[in-house]
Amino acid sequence: MFAKTIQNPSPAFLFYKHTIQISPMAQVSLTDSIKVLVFLFLLFGGLYFAAEFLIPLSFGGIIATLILPFCRRIESKGVHRGVSAALCILILLTIIGGLVLIFAWQLSDLAKDFSQMQHHLGGLRDKIESYISNTVGISREKQTEIIDKQQDATTNQMAGVITALMGIGVDFILVTVYTFLFVLYRSRLKKFILMLVPVEQMQRTEKVINESAKVAFQYLSGLSMMIVMLWVMYGIGFSIVGIEGAIFFAVLCGLLEIVPFVGNLTGTGFTVLMAISQGGGGSMVLGVLATYFVVQFVQSYIIEPLVVGAEVNINPLFTILVLVLGEMLWGIPGMVLAIPLLGIAKIICDNVEPLRPYAYLIGGERREKKDSGFISKIKNAFNKKAE
């Protein structure tokens, strides 16, 4: 009976036989998928376990990309490459030192009114405890006990904070050294990459390297200019609202813009808390929120298209995904590095034919608009700096 079935197979038997067979093409596809999964597993595992080594190295590479055009301009005047790199790094450190002094100056002014702010926060705490006691049913004594436990835990973590600050100092020195060496040995690094590709691909590879460095500079310099513009707008808005230490919170909100979505909300939250601690009431809080929404509107529809441009435009889905992934792998430094690194990766994908589908997947919608004369002049100015 079984032999007869094989000699004269039924349609059901043929369907079953067809479904259980795996074609050679499917086997190849399955093998490729497994290779991709193994590669991603090893990649993210390596990024996680080598974080202490890779984070300063990545910051050094990004900063080197930012100062490279200025180093080239200085070198064109006959200055030695090492001297020009050291000079550019010195200027950058001077700017960072100036920001630190502004922060210290504003914090000293805020410290003068600390007792008054503490009094306002104490009154606010009493109101919150009364509301929780009446609404949720947790007594004020129980709330105080919970808060005291949290304060004890915070005190125990101070040693960890001091250790972390010492680590940041060491990483800062490493980043400075890496930046200098990247700029100094950029020709050797470029030649090394060209030696890895076939001779017929060298010209194309060199073009990709140059365009990646150029557009990366445009993105990073545009982001820096956008942060400066945000400082001005937040400073004006917070000063009009009446926030004490308006410059401090303006600089804070602008710097936190490096981390999209999360940074600006965090900075605005701190400012709202300051408004409450200063006893400004609901009108000051509404003023801070209004400043935030106005600045975000101007940033999204005027500053970003004008200054940052669409060369490394990333859609919101991958922006959020890479921020979450960056935080999981490298913590807060990973969130700061996530967008620039993904932007540089997108630039490379745009210029390599087999990788263009990935650039399309990561990128956002391009809006073709005819620039006005003023916008064109600004964009041309950035292009000249990058050359």
pLDDT tens per residue, range 106-145: 777 666 655 655 555 565 566 666 656 666 666 656 656 6
pLDDT band at 339 (very low <50, low <70, confident <90, very high): confident
C-alpha 92/C-alpha 105 separation (Å) is 20
Closest CA to 290 of 310, 308, 306, 275: 275
pLDDT tens per residue, range 137-147: 666 566 566 66
Mean pLDDT, to the nearest integer, of 14-41?
61
Are 369 and 310 in contact, with CB atoms under 8 Å apart?
Answer: no
Give residue 125's pLDDT.
63
Please report, as a single letter, which amino acid is at residue 11.
P
Q: Is the pLDDT of residue 178 over 90?
A: yes
297/28: higher pLDDT: 297
